[in-house]
Amino acid sequence: MSRLLVPCHVKSTVALQVGDMRTSQGRPGVLVVDVTFPNVAPFELQEITFKNYYTAFLSIRVRQLTPGATPGKWVTCLRNRCLMPDPHSEEGAQEYVSLFKHQMLCDMTRVLELRLILRQPSPLWLSFTVEELQIYQQGPKSPSLFPKWLSHPVCNEQPAPCAEQGLPDPSRVSSEVQQMWALTEMIRASHTSTRIGRFDVDGCYDLNLLSYT
C-alpha cells in the first residue's frame, strides 16, 4: 500500500503545568503539539511516523470535518500509547515509531487538525519531545506484478473438445504456467549480497595512515 506525504505545519510545543511557571521548581511533564494542514483539503490519515526523544506516553486527538461541513469537536484517537516501557530508563527513548489507521480508536477520514499530547512522568530527563513528525495519506494503488492478459486470459474461443482425447485441461495448464512464470520472475529479480572477499585494490595494500572521518 503506497502512501503520500501530507505537508503539515507543526506548531511549537506548549507545556502544561500547574501553578506559576516561573517559581515552581519541577519541569513540565506534559507537552502539547498542534499539527495543522494549511492549504490541504481534509484527507484520510493513513500513517503517522516520528522519532521519539524520551517521551514516555503519547495520546493523539483529532478534529475532523463533520457532514455539516463544520469543524467537529476534538476526539481522542489514540489513548496513552506507551513508547517507553520504563520511563526512568533508556529503552525505547530514541526509537522510530509508526502509527497506522487501524490502530486508532476512531476512523480517520476528513482530518482537519491533530493534537499530540506527550507525557513523561520521570523527573530524570531534562527534556522530551517527538522529532521528524510525518503524516501520510493513502497514495495511488501500486501497479500489479503480472501483465493484465496473463492473469485474465481472454476466453473468446470455444474450448476444444480435448478432454476426450486425453490432453490436460487448458485452464489448469495455464495456471501452472502462470505459477512457473512468477517463480522465474522472482528469481531473476533477486540478487545476492555476498562480498567478494578481496581486501586489497588490484593486489596493492600499501596504505596511508588511518583516516579520522
Partner 1 sequence: MLQEESDLSLIIAQIVQKLKGSNLYSQLERQAWTCLQRPEIRLESLKEDIKEFFKISGWEKKLQNAVYSELNVYPLPSHPSAPPEHLKEPLVYMRKAQGSWEKRILKSLNSMCTELSIPLARKRPVGEQKELLNKWNEMGTDEPDLSLFRPVYAPKDFLEVLINLRNPNYENGDSLSFRTNLGLIQVPLKVKDIPELKECFIELGLSTGQLGIDDSTQVPPELFENEHVRIGQKVLAQQDSAAAQQYIRQGSPTALRAELWALILNISSQPEDILYYEQLKTNVIQHDLLVDSLIYKDVKLTASNDDYYFVFEDYLYQVLLCFSRDTSVLGHFAYNSASPPKSYIRGKLGLEEYAVFYPPNGVIPFHGFSMYVAPLCFLYHEPYKLYQIFREMYVRFFFRLHSISSHPSGIVSLCLLFETLLQTYLPQLFYHLREIGAQPLRISFKWMVRAFSGYLATDQLLLLWDRILGYNSLEILAVLAAAVFAFRAVNLMEVTSLAAAEAVLADLSTLKVMPLLQIFLFATVT
Q: State yes or no: residue 141 binds partner 1 (CB under 8 A).
A: no
Among 51, 72, 138, 170, binds partner 1 (CB under 8 A): 51
Among 66, 90, 159, 160, binds partner 1 (CB under 8 A): 90
**Residue 112 grid cell:** 482537519
Q: How far is CA 39 from CA 52, 77, 112, 176, in A?
A: 27, 23, 11, 51
Among 41, 69, 124, 155, binds partner 1 (CB under 8 A): 124
Output the smallest distance, CB 4 to partner 1, in A. 15
Q: State yes or no: residue 100 binds partner 1 (CB under 8 A).
A: yes
Burial 192-204 (b: 16+ CB within 10 A, else e): eeeeeeeeeeeee
Classify residue 205 by its DSSP letter. -
Binding part of the chain for partner 1, among 36-44, 62-70, 72-80, 194-202 by CB under 8 A, reads 194-202
Per DSSP bridges, beta strands 14-16 and 30-36 are: antiparallel
Please state, in angstroms and rounded to a whole number, the distance separating the CA atoms of residues 44 and 38: 15
| 102: Cα within 13 Å, side-chain hemisphere | 0
**Other CB atoms within 10 Å distance of the CB of residue 3:** 14
Among 102, 141, 148, 188, binds partner 1 (CB under 8 A): 102
Looking at the Cβ atoms of 53 and 63, the one nearer to partner 1 is 53
3-state secondary structure of 130: strand
Q: State yes or no: residue 174 binds partner 1 (CB under 8 A).
A: no
Q: State yes or no: residue 157 binds partner 1 (CB under 8 A).
A: no
Which parts of this chain interact with partner 1 (CB under 8 A)?
A: 49, 51, 53-54, 85-86, 88-91, 93-98, 100, 102-103, 123-128, 132, 134, 172, 176, 179, 190-195, 197-201, 204-213
